[in-house]
Structures are given as C-alpha cells and as structure tokens.
Structure 1
C-alpha cells in the first residue's frame, strides 16, 4: 500500500479533505495530513462549499480536521504520492516556498499527484503544469492557462488523468477522482 502526503491548511474544503483522507485510509493506504507551522494533533478549520444556485459556491463552517503528522518533519522522498485538497487553503499555501518545493518533488520524481478544486492554485504556483491537462474549479481556469497548462473543461462529477496527475473540479467528482488516483497507486 502507498504512503501518501496530504498538504492542507486552514479553511480547506471539508469534503475535499475528509473524504479522500478517510477513503484512502479505508483502502489500506497510509496518509499523513500536514499543514505548515502546525504539528500532529493540531487542527485546521474546514469550510463546506456548496452549489445552491448562486453564481458561485456558498461557504459554511465545516469540521475541525485533526492533522496526524507534523509539517516540519516531512521528507518528501519517503512518500509515494501527494493529495492536495481545495477550498481557501491553497490561496495562502501557494505562498509557502516549502510547500511548493514539496509539490515539485512529486512531479520531478514522477509520483502520483491528486489535486481537486482550488488545489490547482498550488500546482500553478509551483510551476508544474506546463504542457499538462488540469481540471480545477472553473474560477482557477485562467491560472491554469497562464501557467502553461491546458484547462480541462469537464463535468463537475468527472476527473481527468494526465500522466501521474489526477485533477477534478470539485467534491462531486470524488468517485471519479479517487478511482483514477487509486489506479495510479
């Protein structure tokens, strides 16, 4: 089974953090969930994003998600794959050079990477999308294109795999996204 790193942060999307974390564990994988400047046992607040007929998603308070590993202890070489949830966390996580270096490691080592929704913001900031097809929440499409990637316009329930990268627009895609990611593991 795979040893997986999940990089998350404050106001990560609730479903996009909880569901892959629990699903991957239930399937026998090991998942270390980390956040910069936080240690195992600390929490990150989550946000629930929903599609309720407005021009964009709504946001409600979610759960407190407990981290099970310490960011400063992460050695990227020791992991087989990477998961990047969406929500608001990627907006500030992409400013952290250590996060970006970790992400680059997985691409340089050709390890599986799964990113969903706004997680693409970290991929664009890391400069790893040039020539790659990437889905994301539609509001991230300009960033994907500006970084040299091809934005995959797919249904909100679909995912796309390009080499070792699996991406999806939002949590309604979990069955497709997680299935495609686990096929790479």
Structure 2
C-alpha cells in the first residue's frame, strides 16, 4: 500500500472525537495527514468540543481538548493531496463561509478524489454545491441542508456510514468504525491481521 497524503479541514469547536480519532487512526496506518484551519498556522491550536448523546432532544456539548494543527491553511495546495477529510461539530457552520474552503472542497469533488465527511461536515459539502445527486449521511439536523443541496439524505443509524462514489459520510462519531473503514477502502489501504 502506498501511503496517501490527506488534507484534514478542522476548526474551533469541531467535535473532539471527530478530530482526534480520524487524525490518529490515519497516522497509525501510515498515511500523512495535514490538519488545517482557516486563518491559522502550523503549531497553533483549535479548541474542540465533546458532543454526547445523553437522552436529550439533541446532543450535549462539553469542552474538549486543544488540538495542535500541523500545517498552515494559507500554504495548502490541494493538488498535492490524495484525499480530503472534514471534521464535524460546530466548526463546519463557520468554515463553510470561507471562500478558500469552498474552492478546496470543489477541487477534491471535481477531481473525484476521496472525500470523508462526518456529522455536521455535510454543511461544508452542501455549501460547496458538490453533492447534487449523491446519497449523503450526516447528523439528522443537517438533513434539510443536504436535501436543499440536491442530495438524498440517508438516515443511517448513529453508528452507520455510507459510500457514494468518492464520498464517505457518516452520522456522527459513533460511526467511526464504518466511516473510517470505508474511507480506508477508498484510499486503497489494506490492513493485514
């Protein structure tokens, strides 16, 4: 397996597990991952938030960790990367307002490179207008935006994920085993046991 170079879009108050777990997992299997946030540089941090499902009508939110970025957003050349990953949480609602984020997402979609988006990251995909005609999973509160963007919202269980072409999407962090396995399959990553 050839190691891949993955661009990881994150931001302040991205969901903690949706940043930490995929970042560490992809590094563990030998891929290079550059975590970037608009207007921030390598060595700076983002604050994450922990979203839990505790029986309320929506998730609860608690302070997470300080996650150190390992690349500078302004230096991103999307053509240098094999795949894109976007964290969920609250970050997607504001990083999607950045024109450069939208251009990056469109590059990966138009080049048919693998794109993994979890939970609220579907907001970024919808804002970039790249999911028309696709089957997309996301946190249920994002379903209207997914549909308005011309995609079919797929109501997966919380631990569910789906692949449609070069897109791998999942409900939220409980979907990590399926979501990451499907993304690794798109990347051509083989894990020998």
What TM-score, normalized to structure 2?
Answer: 0.95
Return the alpha-carbon distance in structure 2 between the equivalents of residues 96 and 139 of structure 1: 22
Aligned to 1:38: 40
Unaligned stretches of 5+ residues in structure 1: none
Spell out, residue by residue over 1:117-152, the C-alpha distance to the aligned partner (whole angstroms, 9 max, x if none). 000000000000100010000000000000100001
- C-alpha deviation, 1:164, in angstroms: 0.7
Return the alpha-carbon distance in structure 2 between the equivalents of residues 134 and 128 of structure 1: 11
Return the alpha-carbon distance in structure 2 between the equivalents of residues 164 and 18 of structure 1: 23
Return the alpha-carbon distance in structure 2 between the equivalents of residues 105 and 176 of structure 1: 25
Aligned to 1:180: 182
**Runs of 4+ deviating beyond 6 Å:** none
Aligned to 1:116: 118
- C-alpha deviation, 1:154, in angstroms: 0.8
Q: Mapping of 1:156-175 within 5 angstroms?
A: 156-175=158-177
Aligned to 1:96: 98
Aligned to 2:130: 128
Return the alpha-carbon distance in structure 2 between the equivalents of residues 104 and 135 of structure 1: 19
Return the alpha-carbon distance in structure 2 between the equivalents of residues 154 and 122 of structure 1: 19
Aligned to 1:64: 66
Q: Mapping of 1:12-51 within 5 angstroms?
A: 12-51=14-53
What TM-score, normalized to structure 1?
Answer: 1.00
Return the alpha-carbon distance in structure 2 between the equivalents of residues 143 and 29 of structure 1: 31
CA RMSD of aligned residues (A): 0.3
Unaligned stretches of 5+ residues in structure 2: 188-193
What secondary structure sits across from 1:182 in the alignment? helix
Q: How many residues align?
A: 185
Return the alpha-carbon distance in structure 1 between the equivalents of residues 4 and 56 of structure 2: 39
- C-alpha deviation, 1:175, in angstroms: 0.3
